[in-house]
């Protein structure tokens, strides 16, 4: 019965991890100091960036793949709910969610290649986070690319079983500060 209504321990842990992702993505300094557009697109992009970071950490651990899928599903359930709350019609929600899933897939590939050194991470950040801004500030682009690398390292240092339990820890925006749990 719990599985039918999505209240499995894995679903609850994914909801907790997703809440941490959203909380980190909503930090005001992303928008005020680093110039990420404070729009629906900008907020979506920051959620996607943080979801990517967690999925990136989980991808090398086969036992965590189920949790990764549950977390992915949790995000899209939230996006579906948000679209409906904003008044998107039932017939359009599926198309919008499909477009978001395609966007997420592209972001994952771009950020993955950037972190691996196979592509320019700064360019991936510019194109995805700042795509709606004509000319983002170069220092903000560099800071966001450094933030992405640093967060990947912070998550890599965390035990996967801790993340799968819903306890994802992110470092603060500033590179000198100690990591905090969100």
H helices present in the chain, as ranges: 9-25, 28-32, 40-58, 65-85, 90-116, 121-129, 138-156, 160-164
Q: Are 47 and 153 in contact (CB under 8 A)?
A: no
In a domain, 2, yes or no: no
Q: Is residue 118 part of a domain?
A: yes
Query: What pLDDT band is residue 98 in, cutting at 50, 70 and 90?
Result: confident
Q: What pLDDT is stored for residue 89 in this prediction?
A: 62
CA distance 154 to 143: 16
**What percentage of the chain carries pLDDT values higher than 70?**
82
31-82 pLDDT, tens digit per residue, is 999 999 998 888 989 999 999 999 999 998 999 999 999 999 998 788 766 6
Helix (H, G, I), strand (E, B) or coil at 170: strand
Is 1 part of any domain?
no
Residue 4, domain member (yes or no): no
pTM confidence score? 0.86
CA distance 24 to 181: 9
Domain count, the chain: 1
| 103: in domain | yes
The Cα-based distances of 155 to 5, 41, 54, 105, 148 in angstroms read 30, 25, 7, 20, 11
Identify the domain containing residue 53 by its residue range: 9-181
């Amino acid at each position: 019965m719990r599985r039918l209504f999505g209240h499995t321990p894995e679903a609850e842990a994914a909801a907790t991890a997703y809440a941490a992702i959203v909380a980190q993505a909503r930090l005001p300094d992303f928008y005020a100091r680093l110039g990420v557009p404070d729009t629906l697109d900008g907020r979506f992009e920051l959620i996607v960036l943080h979801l990517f970071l967690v999925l990136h950490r989980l991808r090398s651990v086969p036992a965590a793949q189920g949790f990764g899928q549950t977390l992915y599903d949790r995000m899209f359930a939230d996006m579906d709910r948000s679209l409906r709350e904003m008044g998107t019609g039932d017939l359009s929600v599926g198309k919008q969610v499909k477009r978001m899933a395609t966007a997420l897939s592209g972001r994952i590939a771009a950020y993955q290649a950037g972190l691996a050194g196979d592509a320019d991470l700064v360019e991936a950040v510019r194109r995805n986070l700042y795509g709606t801004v004509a000319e983002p500030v170069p220092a903000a682009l560099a800071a966001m690319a450094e933030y992405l690398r640093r967060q990947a390292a912070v998550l890599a240092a965390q035990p996967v079983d801790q993340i799968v339990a819903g306890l994802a820890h992110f470092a603060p925006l500033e590179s000198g500060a100690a990591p905090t749990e969100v």
